[in-house]
């Protein structure tokens, strides 16, 4: 059954039994193994697929143990799930504006038995302070849209376009809202593109999030970085530490040892691709 079928057909679901759990999958959905502590994620067959950027952010994110953290624009819920498993916060909230993505992320949370620690909330990032209140989190993590909206025509209801382009919120929206959600001393962590680095640091300082830690991600040695991991502290003192570059592949085209460690594996399979 394809997604192009009528609305009634699209809403038809079937039940898959997974490790004694009844997990409801909709047509055009699959369950992917995250290769970490048995975690799995529900994703759409032809929809937006989480990438290595989300995995790297969950590894890099500055999240205090037993603290409260919000993932702005959680999408499939991949970052919320991995942060809950790797960083051991007391509470994780995933905020997502797209109803179908939020509902799917909620089922992934249930699939992993994390209902008590992760809550998925449907809402607009720009309304987050009204939803949760100011200074309500110890940490914010986010993998926001990378591309400025520009002048091209984009479908505001296209999930892929929303994930990649600043259609529903801008970089400044994400950073300004993060600053208001964070307690003083709270941590902000984000993955983005290096060509936006000046804008990122400008807005972080403008909204009192002092850049503290940065790492550039390169496809392989000798190639330009295509991702930047950056973290800052609300009301922090000025001091930026730049970590050693992170290389995804070595000179022979194999995943580097550090990437294998991040993915918790010895023999690495290709991740499903980034933005």
CATH at residue 75: 3.40.50.150
Instruction: Let me know if residue 101 belongs to a domain.
Output: yes
When divided into structural domains, the chain yields a total of 1
For the stretch 118-151, what's the b/e string if a residue is b when 16 or more beta carbons lie within 10 angstroms of its beta carbon?
bbbbbeebeebbebbeeebbbbbbbbbbbbeeee
pLDDT above 90 for 274: no
Q: What is the pTM of this model?
A: 0.82
Instruction: Let me know if residue 232 belongs to a domain.
Output: yes
Domain that holds residue 69: 7-262
Instruction: Let me know if residue 209 belongs to a domain.
Output: yes
Tokens of 202: 């400008």
pLDDT above 80 for 248: yes
Instruction: Let me know if residue 267 belongs to a domain.
Output: no
- Helix (H) or strand (E) holding 191, with range, is strand 182-192
- Tell me if 73 sits within 8 A of 53, measured CB to CB: no
Torsion angle defined by CA atoms of residues 88, 219, 144 and 105, in that order, rounded to the nearest 10 degrees = -50
Instruction: Let me know if residue 271 belongs to a domain.
Output: no
Instruction: Let me know if residue 245 belongs to a domain.
Output: yes
Instruction: Let me know if residue 273 belongs to a domain.
Output: no
Give the C-alpha separation, 137 to 121, whole Å.
15
Could you read off the pLDDT of 38-73 as tens digits, one per residue? 899 999 877 666 789 999 999 999 999 999 999 999
Average pLDDT over residues 217-234: 97
Instruction: Let me know if residue 274 belongs to a domain.
Output: no
């Amino acid at each position: 059954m394809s997604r192009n079928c009528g609305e009634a057909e699209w809403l038809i679901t079937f039940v898959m039994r997974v490790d004694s759990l009844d997990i409801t999958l909709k047509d055009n959905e699959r369950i992917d193994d995250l290769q970490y502590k048995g975690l799995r994620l529900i994703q759409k067959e032809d929809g937006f697929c989480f990438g290595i950027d989300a995995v790297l952010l969950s590894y890099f994110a500055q999240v205090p143990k037993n603290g409260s953290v919000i993932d702005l624009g959680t999408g499939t819920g991949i970052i919320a799930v991995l942060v809950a498993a790797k960083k051991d916060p007391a509470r994780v909230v995933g905020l997502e504006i797209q109803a179908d993505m939020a509902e799917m992320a909620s089922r992934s949370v249930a699939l992993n038995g994390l209902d008590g620690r992760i809550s998925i909330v449907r809402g607009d990032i720009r309304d987050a302070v009204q939803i949760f209140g100011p200074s309500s989190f110890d940490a914010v993590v986010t993998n926001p849209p990378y591309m400025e909206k520009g002048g091209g025509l984009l479908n505001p209801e296209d999930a892929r376009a929303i994930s990649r382009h600043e259609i529903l919120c801008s970089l400044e929206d994400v950073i300004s809202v993060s600053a208001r959600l964070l307690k003083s001393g709270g941590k902000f962590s984000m993955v983005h593109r290096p060509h936006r680095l000046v804008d990122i640091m400008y807005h972080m300082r403008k909204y009192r999030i002092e850049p503290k830690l940065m790492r550039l991600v390169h496809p392989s040695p000798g190639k330009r970085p295509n991702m930047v991991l950056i973290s800052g502290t609300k009301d922090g003192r000025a001091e930026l530490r730049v970590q050693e570059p992170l290389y995804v592949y070595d000179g022979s085209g194999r995943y580097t040892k550090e990437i294998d460690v991040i993915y918790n594996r010895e023999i690495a399979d290709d991740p499903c691709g980034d933005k």
